[in-house]
Chains A and B, each alone.
Chain A
Amino acid sequence: EPEVTQTPSHQVTQMGQEVILRCVPISNHLYFYWYRQILGQKVEFLVSFYNNEISEKSEIFDDQFSVERPDGSNFTLKIRSTKLEDSAMYFCASRTTVQETQYFGPGTRLLVL
């Protein structure tokens, strides 16, 4: 069964450093999402992406964040200058144009020191 995959599974970085989190959505999906989950809290929406542009973003998704679909298979989330409070699990999700179900990847655990 096709799955959303994410790399790396864990990332440790120093405050102020840039990180890029990578996702490979399910191959026939055209809507892509990033969510995050701070330890012990609920999953929070960050951004949605369709047709090579952002369709919606939350207030968390400030100018330190960006997303890109650099080729036909990858979808990336970049944090330009990480802060301690960016430490969280980051989930990528995708869906088709006809089905509403969003399928989530296993997540990247980001730790900012």
Chain B
Amino acid sequence: GESVGLHLPTLSVQEGDNSIINCAYSNSASDYFIWYKQESGKGPQFIIDIRSNMDKRQGQRVTVLLNKTVKHLSLQIAATQPGDSAVYFCAVRIYNQGGKLIFGQGTELSVKP
């Protein structure tokens, strides 16, 4: 099986600071990793993803880092804005298991103006 855990259920940062949200997974056969943002009452919104053959991927203000040695994934948000306030989930796909995603518990990010 696979278990996915997040290190902190809540994170509070000052506007303009960088945010780092961490995630750990257990199955070494996990081959694809994805971060979603969920605002209250809405569905998960894709932020960024990374395949297991990479260790870093950058988007606009977001970076995902993957450390397969310790089975750790992180999401970095640069210059965090109030609009970034939401719950962030990491999700993991295990190779050859039909594409299902296994989600972590979520970290609630609060951005103080």
What is the bound-complex CA distance between A103 and B36, given in angstroms? 10
- Smallest Cβ distance from B43 to chain A, in angstroms? 4
Which residue in A33, A104, A105 is a CB contact (below 8 Å) of B100?
Answer: A33
For the complex of A and B, list the 9 residue pairs with the smallest distance between their C-beta atoms, beginning with the closest. Answer: A56-B98, A104-B43, A43-B103, A45-B100, A55-B98, A104-B44, A42-B103, A106-B43, A42-B105
Contact of A102 with B43 in the complex, beta carbons under 8 Å:
no
Query: Interface size of B by Cβ–Cβ distance < 8 Å?
Result: 23
Task: State whether A103 and B46 are in contact (beta carbons under 8 Å apart), knowing that A42-B105, A42-B106, A43-B89 are contacts in the complex.
Answer: yes
Q: Which residues of A sit under 8 angstroms from B102, Cβ to Cβ?
A: 45
Contact of A48 with B100 in the complex, beta carbons under 8 Å:
yes
Q: Which residues of B sit under 8 angstroms from A104, Cβ to Cβ?
A: 36, 43-46
Please report whether the interface of chain A is mostly helix, strand, loop or mixed according to DSSP.
Answer: strand
Q: Which residues of B sit under 8 angstroms from A101, Cβ to Cβ?
A: 34, 46, 49
What is the bound-complex CA distance between A58 and B99, given in angstroms? 12
Q: Which residue of B lies closest to A105 (CB)?
A: B43
Please report whether the interface of chain B is mostly helix, strand, loop or mixed according to DSSP.
Answer: strand
Interface string of A91-106 (1 = CB under 8 A from B): 1000100001111111
Query: Interface size of A by Cβ–Cβ distance < 8 Å?
Result: 24
Interface string of B79-108 (1 = CB under 8 A from A): 000000000010101000111111111100
Q: Does any Cβ of B come within 8 Å of A18's Cβ?
A: no
Contact of B43 with A56 in the complex, beta carbons under 8 Å:
no
What is the bound-complex CA distance between A63 and B45, given in angstroms? 30
Task: State whether A100 and B103 are in contact (beta carbons under 8 Å apart), knowing that A43-B44, A55-B98, A56-B98 are contacts in the complex.
Answer: no
Interface string of B30-54 (1 = CB under 8 A from A): 0010101000001111100101000
